[in-house]
Chains A and B, each alone.
Chain A
């Protein structure tokens, strides 16, 4: 067995019990939590992935494949005419069951007792018996599987636990994003997501550490929770370049920035930032920022972040309206627009702003160094985007897609795919219309998929009773140039 197939300390694993999935990092003597039980995974270290385990007290023990198989039910009644819903069929009371449990009875034994004490079990049809057993086993057996995290499991896990955090991204839609974007090793990807790093992780897995990913992120630092789960080699991170969403104005084409006096345009951006940062005690004053090439990113302070967000939304809104009106990418206008928003924001929080500038602060060399690094990274990404045309644009975020889409679209080379996901169709239709007007894309599609799972059992095959109503919508297409 290859060494990659066994569970090691420090790795992320998924515990699967029935439909519930949990992500944990494996460490000796670290407690994990599943279905109200706490236990240690120590025993599992060094054992292969895919193994099934039972919880015994605080520890887990391996289930052999023979134990694992559910024995088939052979005898049963013909139909349910004799079965009444009178709650008297089970002779064991809740207390009895609790007593069994507290005696430390194994789950399988409890299920057996339940069957023995059920007067109606024998009258049930074999199918009904199988269903009953499955239900009881799921409830009383603390049996779970340890799996290697992958895109499917992570997507399922997030979708079950907090669909809105995951922007309702469904497995088939995620699969289509990756395919439509033609994600492969060695290409340059430009992407924006707000699904906790799930899409980024999926893309990184398909690129295997070769190529470039420019990740536009909305918070002060990119959220890459799910990326950790993949247990990627650390070298994969070298392909990642983060760029904050609220600095997109800084990406104006070089020529226009130069002709427009770079100092001024960057200072506009930093003004805007300044306005957002007034709550931050260690905010640098306007002067020192102006003299610098790149504005700095804000620290993660909840209050300040919320202010920043508001500004950003305003900017998006005004940008979006402008795009709708003129349907042209006018960089200068966009820059002015951004400047205006910055001023507005300044007025709103004007008082705070002056306070922030007056406030004394100590220069922390570590912070300065960090800021410097951020500035350098911003410039690096800007240069990258200006010097290298991107091979694909992928977006799956909770923001209005059009403003971001129009801001990033111009960095794509001709004859390259783009994919925008949205849980709602109308925002994609806006992008669709913008694309049709700008004439820089062909094969534009807005699609939705319908995913239905089936129960396949002898004589009992049918679609599952419940299915997902929507997996969201995708806008896909190919860029073209109008050079002849």
Chain B
């Protein structure tokens, strides 16, 4: 199973990720004799066990197929049962790096929540590090412990049911890093200071509200933490879409106008590509591709057009309803007069990178600090 390392064959008792299609996955604990319903059809677990991870499997009654993936902490984050709000990939990545986690690190986490961060931490500190995670909600602590056992990482994680704000961490050794995801993180800072290594121990606090950040930073400063910094990190997804913008009818009949357009090179594009060391080559590849794709047979002197439409289509894209396909193209040309559109329709449709319509606007503020308490007199 993939939470630590990789294995090739799916075994009984494994937790596999069933990839159902774009943006659609589910986790599946495998046991012989069980059948699970998915939106692509039913899956018989006995059919899955013994198969290789990554394989494609048709659902019963051949309604469709799914892919079976090895769980990684990142896939798990997307598929775990939410018992609380969880942290996602972008924040987890930054936290892991800023806390300087690596194999052998000893790290404390509070609270455990649904275990999204815990899995990522455990993966990074394996094989000889340890994660001490604290959760004040008893049932969540129990569930998390079960999860870690199921996922073969229980040797790396100790789950404690404990209210850290009230009682501190209750451990008598020092740790490399502390991660706080608590409602009143400033109240835990003094407890954290007691267990952090004084030679550069790292602390991170995740809080959704700026007032929490304010109080935490004040507390960190007054307790002698240095390099206090606060970040916000948001992820934006892009998809590849074919963008078709209708050619505007300007009431003129000239064909020559698009020559003038081509003559003006796009300074933006060439300058931005310059420091890759291969100016212009990537656009050429694209154009070659586009020309054969679209024109299919027509002789196209326009094949080498600059990609200057990229910018404008990106913005105007929202007017267009959905990704067009080859079949739709002829329809599109109907609006424009035949002679006018001819040269320009070779530009369109074009492939654009379009951000998803929705993106997270806020997850939380990440506050980082380092503890250096220097021995007196040195």
List residues of A whose CB falls within 8 A of some B CB. Answer: 1-2, 5, 47-51, 62, 65, 148, 150-152, 164, 171-172, 174-176, 178-180, 182-187, 205-208, 210, 313, 316-317, 320-321, 324-325, 391, 398-400, 402, 413-417, 423-427, 429-430, 432-433, 436, 442-443, 445-454, 456, 458, 461, 463, 473, 478-484
A208 to B101, CA, bound (A): 11
Cβ of A449 and Cβ of B230 under 8 Å apart?
no
Cβ of B236 and Cβ of A430 under 8 Å apart?
no
B102 touches which of A205, A433, A449, A463 (Cβ 8 Å)? A205
A296 to B224, CA, bound (A): 57
Cβ of B372 and Cβ of A50 under 8 Å apart?
yes
Q: Which residues of B contact A171 (CB under 8 A)?
A: 94, 97
Give min CB distance, B368 to chain A, whole Å: 9
**Digit string of B113-150 for contact with A (CB within 8 Å is 1, else 0)?**
00000001001101100000000000000000000000
A5, A179, A325, A415: most-surrounded residue (chain B CB, <10 A): A415
The 3 closest A-B pairs by CB, nearest first: A414-B54, A415-B54, A50-B372
- The closest CB in chain B to the CB of A389 belongs to B8
- CB neighbors of A among B53-82 (8 A): 53-58, 65, 67-70, 72-75
Cβ of B120 and Cβ of A179 under 8 Å apart?
yes
Q: Which residues of B contact A432 (CB under 8 A)?
A: 240
Cβ of B378 and Cβ of A48 under 8 Å apart?
yes
B93 touches which of A47, A178, A461, A484 (Cβ 8 Å)? A178
Which of under 10, 10 to 19, 20 to 34, or 35 or more describes the interface residues of B?
A: 35 or more
Q: A176-B93, A454-B365 are in contact. Are A49 and B199 (CB under 8 A)?
A: yes
Known: A175-B96, A433-B240, A458-B218. 13 other contacts (CB 8 A): A152-B98, A174-B97, A207-B103, A426-B353, A429-B353, A447-B236, A447-B238, A448-B238, A456-B217, A461-B214, A478-B75, A479-B54, A480-B56
B84 at the binding interface (Cβ < 8 Å)? no
Q: Which residues of B contact A458 (CB under 8 A)?
A: 214, 218
- The closest CB in chain A to the CB of B73 belongs to A182
Q: Which residues of A contact B54 (CB under 8 A)?
A: 413-416, 478-481
- CB neighbors of A among B190-207 (8 A): 199-200
Q: Which residues of B contact A5 (CB under 8 A)?
A: 199-200
B370 at the binding interface (Cβ < 8 Å)? yes
Give min CB distance, A176 to chain B, whole Å: 4
- The closest CB in chain B to the CB of A439 belongs to B56
Give min CB distance, A242 to chain B, whole Å: 20
Cβ of A484 and Cβ of B58 under 8 Å apart?
yes
Cβ of B127 and Cβ of A185 under 8 Å apart?
yes
A324 touches which of B126, B230, B275, B289 (Cβ 8 Å)? B289
Query: Which of B162-170, B276-284, B297-305 sits within the interface?
Result: B276-284
A1 to B375, CA, bound (A): 9
Give min CB distance, A246 to chain B, whole Å: 15
- The closest CB in chain B to the CB of A474 belongs to B235
Cβ of A148 and Cβ of B200 under 8 Å apart?
yes
A423 to B92, CA, bound (A): 22
Give min CB distance, A314 to chain B, whole Å: 10
**Digit string of B82-112 for contact with A (CB within 8 Å is 1, else 0)?**
0000000110111011101011100000000
- CB neighbors of A among B212-235 (8 A): 213-214, 217-218, 224, 226, 228-235
Cβ of B97 and Cβ of A65 under 8 Å apart?
no
A205 to B199, CA, bound (A): 19
Q: A172-B90, A473-B238 are in contact. Are A414 and B53 (CB under 8 A)?
A: yes
Cβ of B234 and Cβ of A449 under 8 Å apart?
yes
Q: A49-B200, A429-B351 are in contact. Are A482 and B6 (CB under 8 A)?
A: no
Q: Which residues of B contact A452 (CB under 8 A)?
A: 231-233
A442 to B283, CA, bound (A): 26
Cβ of B8 and Cβ of A402 under 8 Å apart?
no
B210 at the binding interface (Cβ < 8 Å)? yes
Q: Which residues of A contact B55 (CB under 8 A)?
A: 414, 480-481, 483-484
A171 to B95, CA, bound (A): 11
Q: Which residues of A contact B229 (CB under 8 A)?
A: 453
Give min CB distance, A399 to chain B, whole Å: 7
B374 at the binding interface (Cβ < 8 Å)? yes
- The closest CB in chain A to the CB of B101 belongs to A206
Between-chain CB contacts (< 8 Å), 29 pairs: A1-B375, A48-B372, A171-B97, A176-B90, A179-B74, A182-B123, A183-B124, A184-B103, A184-B124, A313-B281, A325-B289, A398-B275, A399-B278, A400-B285, A402-B285, A413-B6, A415-B53, A425-B238, A425-B353, A426-B282, A436-B240, A442-B67, A446-B237, A454-B365, A480-B19, A480-B67, A481-B54, A484-B58, A484-B65
Q: A175-B96, A454-B232, A483-B52 are in contact. Are A186 and B214 (CB under 8 A)?
A: no
Give min CB distance, A167 to chain B, whole Å: 8
Q: A152-B98, A429-B351 are in contact. Are A400 and B281 (CB under 8 A)?
A: yes
B367 at the binding interface (Cβ < 8 Å)? yes
Q: A164-B275, A430-B286, A450-B233 are in contact. Are A461 and B213 (CB under 8 A)?
A: yes
A191 to B57, CA, bound (A): 30
A50 to B372, CA, bound (A): 6
Q: Which residues of B contact A320 (CB under 8 A)?
A: 281, 285
B56 touches which of A174, A206, A451, A484 (Cβ 8 Å)? A484
Cβ of A184 and Cβ of B4 under 8 Å apart?
yes
- CB neighbors of A among B15-38 (8 A): 19, 25
Q: Which residues of A contact B65 (CB under 8 A)?
A: 484
Cβ of A324 and Cβ of B5 under 8 Å apart?
no
A459 to B292, CA, bound (A): 60
Cβ of B286 and Cβ of A426 under 8 Å apart?
yes
Q: A400-B285, A429-B353, A454-B213 are in contact. Are A449 and B233 (CB under 8 A)?
A: yes
- CB neighbors of A among B255-285 (8 A): 272-273, 275-278, 281-285
Q: A50-B200, A176-B89, A179-B89 are in contact. Are A317 and B284 (CB under 8 A)?
A: yes
A443 touches which of B19, B97, B126, B307 (Cβ 8 Å)? B19
- The closest CB in chain A to the CB of B290 belongs to A324
B8, B89, B273: most-surrounded residue (chain A CB, <10 A): B89
A14 to B191, CA, bound (A): 30
B288 at the binding interface (Cβ < 8 Å)? yes
Q: A206-B124, A399-B278, A426-B307 are in contact. Are A415 and B69 (CB under 8 A)?
A: yes
